[in-house]
Structure formats: C-alpha cells, structure tokens
Amino acid sequence: MYGVIDLKDIDNLCMNCFRELTNGSVCENCSYDNDLQADTMYLQPKTVLAERYVIGNVVVHESDAVVYRAYDTQLDAVVNVREFLPKGIANRLEGNVEVHIRERYRQNYEKYKASFINLWTTIIKMRSLSAVIPTFDVFELNGTAYAVSEYMETITLREFLLRSPDGNILWDQARLMFMPVLTTLEALHNNGIIHGAICPDHLVLCRDGKMRLKSFCISEANTVSSELEFSPNEGYTALEQYDNHHSMCPATDIYAFSACIFRALVGQNPPDAKSRETNDKLMIPNTIAEKIPTHTIKALGGGLQIYPERRTKTVEAFREQLNAAPAVVAAAAQKENAVIQDPVEEEEHYRGYPDYDVPKQKSKGPKIAIAILAILIVAAAIAGAYILKNGGIGLQEPSETAVSAKTTYAVPDFITEGYTQSDIENNGAWNKQFTISFVSDYSKDTDEGIVFKQSVSSGETVEEGTEIVLTVSKGVKTEKLPNVGGLTLEEAKQKLEKLGFTVSTVEIYNDGGYTPNTVKANYGMAPQYGDDVAVGEEIILQVYGETVTTTQPESTEDTNEE
C-alpha cells in the first residue's frame, strides 16, 4: 500500500498518515500540517525507535502513556506506538529522547513501568481475541517502555450513537455489537487484566464490523487514590475507583460495560456513581423501556449496582443474565426484585431498574409496601398474566378493549442476522411472543449452527403463541468421492448420483486401446476420488469416445471424366 520506506527517505513523508507530501507541508491525503511545532515533551516526528519504527504525530496522551502514530518499516504499515509516560511523574526535557523522572517518584516509576510491560506482554499473547486491537511488540528504550499495536480505522461508540437518528439503538442491534466483547473481557479478567476505563470513547467500531476495546492502562492509574493522574469518565467510572474503601475487581469493568449498554439503549449517560450513593435512581422513559427486553433491564440492574459486593461479579454471570439463560430465568421467577420508585412529577411515566440482592431501605418500607399492594390489587383484577410477563415493571392500566383483544406480534427476521439456536432460545421476549421449535438440515450456503429457514416469513403479523419452526444448518454435507475409473459411464453416473452428486462428461481421444464410453482410469475425474466433496457438487468425468482410425474409406465416387 505504501511501498517499503527506507529510513533515509522519510523527510518528505506526512507524519500522520505517512503518505508522500506532494504539495507543501499540508498533506493532501489527511490534511495534517507537518509544519506544526511538536511539543518538546514528546518524541519529535521522524524519531526512529529500535531501527524500525518512525515516530509521527501525537494521537493522545492518556493517564499512563502517550500514543503516537508511527510507521513500521519492516511490516510496511502504519501502527500505533504507545510510550510509557505517566502524567505528573515523567516528562522529557527539550532536546532529549530519554525520559526524565521526577526524583520523588523514581522508585515507584520503575514499579509502574514493570506493570506497563507486563500488561502489554499479556495482551500480545491474547492478540487472537476478537475485541482487542492486536499488539505485536513490546520493548524498553530511552529509560521507558513501548508497546506497538496495529493501526485500525475506527469510530468510537459515542460518535456512532450520536450519528444514530434517535441517539440510541435497539437491543437486537446492541446485542450483536456488545455480546462478542464479553468473551474478550472474560479472557482478560482470567489473565488478571482489569481495563478500568471502559466507556463509549474506549469502545470502537472497526471497518470489519467488530467492536473492540482500546485505551488499556496499568491498574495503578485507575483510581483517585493513585499518585498517577486519574480522569474519571462520568457515568462510567465505578464507585470503587473513587473510594479506596472498595477494591477494583472484575465487577468494576462490568459496571462500566453495563453503563455503555445503558447509553446505547436509552440515549443518555447514567448518573455518575458518586451521586447515586445518595440518589440511586436509574430511570428509563417508558417509550424506550417498552422496547428493551425485561431480562436485559434486569441484567443491567445487576451490573449497575453501586457497591461492587452487590454487583454481578463475573462476566459469565452477566452474559447469562443478558441472554436470559434458563438458570437465570428460573432464579428470577423465584425472586422478583423490582424497585418501585417514588412518583415523578413529569407527565411521561418511567420505570426503574431492579435492585439485585439489596434489601429495601427501611425508611421507605411502609410506603413501598402500600405501593406494591395497591399495584398488585389493581393488576390482579385487570391483567395478572401481563404482570408475570413483564416482572411488575412499568404497569399501565389496560382498557376493556385491550384486555379482550388478541395480542399480535410481527415475526422477526431470524435469518439475516445469523442467529444461532442458543441466541434465540435465550431471548426471553421472542419465546414469550411465539412458540419456537427447531429442526436441522444440511446447507451448503450457511455455516453450521446458524438459522437459515423460518416457517413464518419475517414481518408477518401473527397472534401470540403462533408456532414458528426454525431450521438450523448442519453445515455442508460431504461424501467421500468413490473411484469410478474404468467403469462405464452409466455405471459411474449411477454410483455418483446415488450419493447426491451431479455428473457431467468430457469426451477424450480413444486410439483403440480403450473401451468406448468408459471412464478414464487414472486422473479421469475432478475432483479426485478419495476427496471429501459437498453433496450436490458437479463431478466431471473424462470418458473415452469411439475409436478413431486414420485409414480413409474407399471412395465410392466415379472418378472417370466424361
């Protein structure tokens, strides 16, 4: 794409995109002005590290490191180089590449640098994870350490949501974006890494459609009590990162990740954790809440608990709650924990999150008890079944017409999004609306485990409880190709077609040494016999034609001239 750049040929390159400058200092490709004076605190553009990486523009300076755009002369690619340069305790004196450490922090600096190296060395080992931007090099130089990662064109989740028409998205879309990240987050936790700064600016969407985590930093830089500079992300930073009476743990990331899902679904940031200590109300307008599956709201309620000891503790448990796994559904049926909020003065109704495993406040006990009793009396008389379906949240008094009318739903598109049987079985809303069953069949066009047929077309409006049969792919059915060399064409076709293959033929020259209309014995079929071939594929057979002779027949024409 760029052509391998020799280190001696970097003077005429843009230090942001590393394209050749063709018209002065302003790059025509990315509009970066290469005459801008770089801050002397950072490595200057065109500095070469490890005889390989050409340093370019500063992208961002985060709590523990500065990120440079750079060019890898060995891989012929633009990369990101992260330099350990913790704010407040390290800088660079003008004209030096060596990092300068403030004397009072020198001893701790070495400890923090070791944490940085350990963090990125661990991430290198996990480069195959789908939601981590791959990192491939870590080294020490200039009194500090560096980590080199692939450069990917991305858009932040925050920007993506701001561009969305309503500023938020539906759960079906959010599920496809967020759920794969949980696998990566679980693997990180299992390897001792807590991100500590998950927010809509640090979740990015890449060109391949995947959401990825960025901006990892050492754990020592993720709390207010640290001597390193810490910048809370309002609405996303967990309470334990403000208050050292509570320790960071995997639940810290679960809080922030839940807050990101909340932002995506609701269209606004949740209140910051400090304010929620005194006023713990997470409210969703009913117009939005009615579009979010009840099990999703309950999962977010568990993930957004203020105190870490009351919060959902593992990614595995959080994933099960979001998927409404059978074990979670059973537990929820035994214990409904919906919090009834005080009435609000706004005209629009709201509904709050359930409070997982937290005793109700004593001071509000009588008031809550009366409210619950009143709701249950009215609801039991009007729509008891509706209460069971919706967990007692956001109840509205239905009219007599609504009670007597049959409930109908539009059938979702189960095929286009690539849902698995597990995805659908764990979707509480769909299984309440329809009676869903599964069959399986082979498909040469659909990966194994993916739904590729539905008995009722998407978009069709049906009554509640309508049966929908979904066909799950068993993958491509294959058969080992038998050897039909030497058989007659009729025998070969019968044998191959019995296995489900189609047959076509190519006639080949016969000098008289072969029986006409037989298949060539050696290399007479494509694919070759013994190969595993998808059923239904075309098998091409080379078949001997009639014997060709070079003797010309005697002419019967009268050659006498008149």
| Residues found in the chain | 562
Number of H helices, E strands in the chain: 14, 23
Amino acid at 439: V
pTM equals 0.60
Could you tell me the pLDDT band of residue 19, with boundaries at 50, 70 and 90?
Answer: very high
Nearest 5°: the CA angle 165, 167, 171 is 100
- Candidate ranges 191-200, 321-330, 343-352, 381-390; pick with highest mean pLDDT: 191-200
- Range from 3-12, 27-36, 144-153 carrying the lowest mean pLDDT: 3-12
**3-state helix/strand/coil string of 481-541:** CCCCCCCEHHHHHHHHHHCCCEEEEEEECCCCCCCCCEECCCCCEECCCCCEEECCCEEEE
Per-residue pLDDT, averaged over 413-420, amounts to 84
- How high does pLDDT run on average in the chain? 82
What percent of the chain shows pLDDT beyond 70? 81
Per-residue pLDDT, averaged over 447-462, amounts to 90
The tens digit of pLDDT for each residue in 357-384 reads 333 333 334 333 333 333 333 333 333 3
Number of Cβ within a 10 Å radius of residue 346: 9
130 and 180 in contact (C-beta within 8 Å)?
Answer: yes
Could you tell me the pLDDT band of residue 286, with boundaries at 50, 70 and 90?
Answer: confident
Q: Would the pLDDT of 331 be above 60?
A: no
Per-residue pLDDT, averaged over 121-146, amounts to 95
Q: Which carries the bigger pLDDT value, residue 552 or residue 543?
A: 543
